[in-house]
């Protein structure tokens, strides 16, 4: 990221030049919320996978 950038700025690199695009606070927050929602969805999927594995292990152990 850019050393002189402030919160609310997005830095993209075009060749060797950093291009700084101003964004409103609302846009920055919406972007952060979208990232958090994506991360949360991945965590939910991982938990579901673990629950399925645990159920399978319990079923196998129940047969022994």
Q: Token pair for residue 34?
A: 């979208």
**The pLDDT of residue 17:** 58
0.75 cut: is pTM over it?
A: no
**pLDDT digits 0-9 by tens, 3-31:** 555 555 555 555 665 555 666 788 889 99
- Cβ atoms of 25 and 8 within 8 Å: the answer is yes
Low-confidence winner among 20-24, 28-32, 35-39, 48-52 (lowest mean pLDDT)? 20-24
Confidence of residue 32 (pLDDT cuts 50, 70, 90): very high
Dihedral angle, C-alpha 49, 50, 54, 55, nearest 10 °: -30
- Cβ atoms of 23 and 10 within 8 Å: the answer is yes
């Amino acid at each position: 990221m850019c050393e002189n950038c402030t919160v609310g700025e997005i830095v993209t690199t075009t060749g060797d030049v950093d291009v700084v695009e101003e964004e409103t606070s609302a846009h920055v927050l919406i972007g952060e919320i979208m990232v958090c929602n994506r991360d949360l969805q991945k965590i939910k999927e991982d938990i579901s996978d673990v629950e399925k594995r645990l159920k399978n292990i319990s079923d196998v152990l129940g047969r022994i």
